[in-house]
Structure 1
Amino acid sequence: MNQFNKFVSRSCLVMATVILAACSPGEKKGSESSFSVPVEYYKLDNGLRVVLSEDHTAPTVVVAVYYNIGFRIEPKDRTGFAHLFEHMMFQGSQNLGKMEFVNMVQKNGGVLNGSTRFDFTNYFEVMPAHKLETALWAEADRMKGLAITQENLTNQQGVVKNEVKVNVLNQPYGGFPWLDMPQYANENWYNAHNFYGDLADLDSAKLEDVDKFFKTFYAPNNAAISVVGDFDKEEAKKWIQQYFGGIAKAELPAKPDIAEPAQNKEKRFTKEDQLANKPAIAVAYKMPDRNTPEYFAMGLIDQLLVQGSDSKLYQKLVQEKGYTGGVSGGINYLGNMFNYNGPMLWMADLIHDANVPADSILKQVDQSVAELDNVTQEDLDMAIVKIRSSLYDNLGGVFGVGRADLLACFALFDDDPARINKLEDEFKKVTPEVIKKTASEYLRATNRTILIVEPKAVNQ
């Protein structure tokens, strides 16, 4: 299970995850890059970004509402507040009482979920196609007005604190490395604080904080809605205007500076884990900026180094050395390389045998990186096949939720959801020379952070 799915499984609502093969409604015979996602994009007068993507393969529809508020820019001294608020959004609205939203979706044969990420908080429903209007109405209802009460806040503070205890504090390798590494590798508080939330900060949240947060960030001009699946566009437009068009926009605060300073010295940290019975290590390198040639090169480097049993790190650390049974890694452990909008890390991690020194593992990492200097076009062609397969899996996953995710993110971050159809071409522009340049500039030891987990359970 990858880190994205691990995090989704921690959400307060359980969703049956069915990964479907990617469909290709825009397929053109004889074209090597045949997949094309239908995209219609526009904005309401109140600033709400709307993306429609028809796919009549199955009689289902996805409604996904994304708010441009995530872990990074939650208030200082309120760590975990963005995640706490995600829970609050299921506590009732103007016309739906507590859990009535959930019951309404499930009784109509649908599934739903919500999550908090670095740069957004999202909510989605997968419904039978004829229930599109119901889903749109319900999402608009809670955007218009949330049931913000002390009872709901106190209840959800307890739920989130228990979630932290179950998933992090009382788990071996809890928070490693998805939650831990950003705190060690980054310097800017917005990127480096405890996203899940310190228990004291969660306790100190006040009702007025929740009300202000909602009125500030859960406004239509800070949101995008994507609708994917079996629907009629004109009908969908009519309902979106009817239910969302009258919601007032908000005065949005200036976005904080989330830039990270350049790293020019290797950082190494050790974390004791009282519950772990084997050591673990994670290695993280700061990423290039999004949408640059080096960014796309890192996507292919990720495929070459850590994705799949043919990757260099798997071959060296598992097959050749036998240090571990598996290696995890990637860009953005709380999603994928496309659905974030700020500083990011490329990371690899593994749990390994106690008799293997960390430096032996790092030696294999360094050797794998050095081998990128000899990368060929044939190597890149294979990496493109892998990343193309991964992209298609994502776009077709969970009844179209993966597609809705990218469309909403590209609307929020780039004001251009149609760039979903340009991704393949960007990867194909990467040459062996760009790979070598990117590896030299970003996969240097002075640009990395090493986090070692030292087990204590076996020593007690």
Structure 2
Amino acid sequence: MKKTWMLLFLMMVALVGCDQKKKEDTADMAVYNVPVEYYKLDNGLKVILSPDATSPTAVVAVYYNIGFRIEPRDRTGFAHLFEHMMFQGSQNLGKMEFIKLVQSNGGVLNGSTRFDFTNYFEIVPSHKLETMLWAEADRMKGLDITQENLTNQQGVVKNEVKVNVLNQPYGGFPWLDMPQYANTNWYNAHNFYGDLKDLDAANLEDVASFFKTYYAPNNAALSIVGDFDMEEAKAWIQKYFGAIPAVDLPEKPDISEPRQAEAKNFIKNDSLANKPATAVAYHMPPRNSPEYYAMGLLDQILIQGDNALLQQKLVDELGYTSNVGGGINYLGNMFNYNGPMQIMYNFTYDNETSEAQVLEAIDSVMDQLAQGVTQEMLDKALVKMRSSLYDELGGQFGLGRADLLCSFALFDDDPARINSLEDEFKKVTPEVVNKTIAEYFRKTNRTVLTVNPLLADNETAKP
């Protein structure tokens, strides 16, 4: 009998031990750690390698530390124009051959210009990694800068401006408009898509100078994410990028914004819009500060998802609009910028609803938020933030991961920050959040931009 009880006791101990081990394993599995190896070539190129054998693909991303903010005065839209020039031919690849090279090897590619960087990426079968590294290095070495190519791309970009902004209802609203209204420093407040006169004024000397100044290895970051051999990749990077010379980089201009002390309200007439629209923006706390992370959680509480306060008030309760969109950094995410920024939300509403009604409803939500955020609210926001973060890290075969790695390398010299983001959000307390609300969601830090729908007025006037 004693032996039987002893055997049962040992079995129970074993089961408890297994259960505890299972809990520990589950806890370990819940923490996702992005592999990061970071180093620099002698010419200053920042290199980030992040292997992932989930699929037989590789992402190659090259980010240059030049964006809209610091493009030349009287050359608005030049950073964007130059992005187009990067596909017009290099030393060994003729016009459009870069695109053909990627696509013929089963890959996809793109480029974009943002506030603080211009990026280029390819997603290819992993056995084509060396080819992509060679191609990216080839255009970093030098472009085929000709008047024909420049004139062609000036036309392309001007048409893009016309299609996406000038001839589009709500064109540029609010992603292009709001920075021009909310900011005071020219570098943050100019038309970064490009004034048509400025685009026409760009010349070959501008293009050559811009390339020589900013498209250098010591002003760039290269990340590779995917299924590749680390040592092989390092050898290829050294082979193709190692001999490209560094340049003397110019001193960066002051892009700081003064503390906003008065509320701003603007109206934009839109002859193509048939309903009014409103956008509301607040200047963000300094990047990487405790308040910055608090604002990331406030974004989840206020704007993101069906349970967001603005959604509940403006959509579910009052029915003023069918959707409230918004967030931090309309041209990316809250992590991939490096200067002044706004948290913003926007929506359209029926002509029967007045702007005064809309603002009254918004004020009621903000007043509710000012009463204080509880730990329960923060816990729910953290779950949403965590989901959003891991969507970013896992998206597009690793492109989201490559984006953060390059951004953190360029802006912080620390791509491993990618693994501490979740912990930073977990540090946020209700006290920090409520302090953030008091300083950054005050009305004197607010800019309201309303679209006046002239098309609706014209239609009303018709017999």
- TM (norm. structure 1) is 0.93
Q: 1:214 to 1:61 in 2, by over 3 A?
A: same
Query: How is 1:210-221 mapped onto 2 (pairs within 5 angstroms)?
Result: 210-221=207-218
Aligned equivalents of 2:25 and 2:167: distance in 1? 52
* Aligned counterparts of 1:245 and 1:122: Cα–Cα separation in 2: 20
Per mean C-alpha deviation after superposition, the further-off stretch among 373-382 and 197-206 is 373-382
Query: Does 2:224 align with 1:261?
Result: no
- Structure 1 residue identity aligned to 2:250: P
Runs of 4+ in 1 over 3 A off after TM superposition: none
Determine which of 378, 384, 387 is the counterpart of 1:386.
384
Matched, 1:112 2:112: no
- Aligned equivalents of 2:226 and 2:34: distance in 1? 11
Q: 2:422 aligns with which of 421, 424, 427?
A: 424
- CA distance in structure 2 between the partners assigned to 1:43 and 1:380 by the alignment: 39
For 2:182 and 2:304, how far apart are their aligned partners in 1?
Answer: 22
Q: C-alpha offsets along residues 57-92 of structure 1, whole Å, 9 cap, x if unaligned?
A: 000000000000000000000000000000000001
C-alpha deviation, 1:240, in angstroms: 0.3
1:52-451 map, 5 Å: 52-372=49-369, 373-451=371-449
Q: Which whole-Å CA distance do the structure 2 matches of 1:324 and 1:385 have between them?
A: 26
Instruction: Give CA deviations for 1:311-359 in whole Å, capped at 9, x if unaligned.
Output: 0000000000000010011000000000000000000100011121222
Partner of 1:23: none
Tell me if structure 2 keeps the 8 A contact 1:53–1:228.
yes
Structure 1 CA distance for aligned equivalents of residues 98 and 234 of structure 2: 22
Shift of the alpha carbon at 1:459?
Answer: 1.7
Describe the shift of the 1:326–1:302 C-alpha distance in structure 2 as closer, same or farther (beyond 3 A).
same
Listed as ranges, the gaps of 5+ residues in structure 1 are 1-26
Q: Which amino acid aligns with 1:402?
A: G
Aligned residues: 434
Q: Distance in 2 between matches of 1:364 and 1:310?
A: 16
3-state SS in 2 of match to 1:348: strand
Partner of 2:8: none
Contact 1:28 1:34 in 2 (8 A): no
Name the SS for the 1:79 alignment partner. coil
Given the superposition, is the C-alpha separation of residues 64 and 426 from structure 1 closer, same or farther in structure 2, using an over 3 Å criterion?
Answer: same
Task: Note the C-alpha offset of 1:405.
Answer: 0.2
| C-alpha distance in structure 1 between counterparts of 2:89 and 2:225, whole Å | 25
Which secondary structure state, in structure 1, belongs to the residue aligned with residue 331 of structure 2? coil
| Cα distance between partner residues in 1 of 2:360 and 2:151 | 49
* Counterpart-to-counterpart distance in 2, 1:369 and 1:393: 28
CA shift in 2, pair 1:96/1:319, >3 Å: same
Counterpart-to-counterpart distance in 2, 1:272 and 1:297:
35
Which residue in 2 is equivalent to 1:458?
A: 456
1:29 counterpart SS class: helix
Q: Secondary structure at the match of 1:30?
A: helix
Distance 2:357 2:424 in 1: 36
Where 1:226 maps in the other structure, the secondary structure is: strand
The 3-state SS of whatever aligns with 2:250 is coil
Deviation at 1:29, TM superposition (A): 3.4
CA offsets 1:15-62 (integer angstroms, 9 cap, x no match): xxxxxxxxxxxx963237511100000000000000000000000000
Measured in 2, the distance between the counterparts of 1:101 and 1:142 equals 9
The amino acid of 2:442's aligned partner reads R
CA-to-aligned-CA distance 1:230-279 (integer Å, 9 cap, x gap):
00110000000000000000110000000001100000000000000000
8 Å CA contact 1:275–1:457 kept in 2: the answer is: yes
- Pairwise CA RMSD of aligned residues? 1.0
For 2:98, the aligned partner's letter is: F
Q: 2:26 aligns to what SS in structure 1?
A: coil
More helix by share: 2
Report deviation, 1:433: 1.1
- The equivalent residue for 1:41 is 38
Greater CA radius of gyration, 1 or 2? 2
Normalized against structure 2, the TM-score is what? 0.93
The answer as to whether partners of 1:62 and 1:400 remain within 8 angstroms in 2 is yes
CA distance in 1, matches of 2:76, 2:65: 17
Amino acid corresponding to residue 442 of structure 1 in structure 2 = Y
Partner of 1:52, secondary structure, is: strand
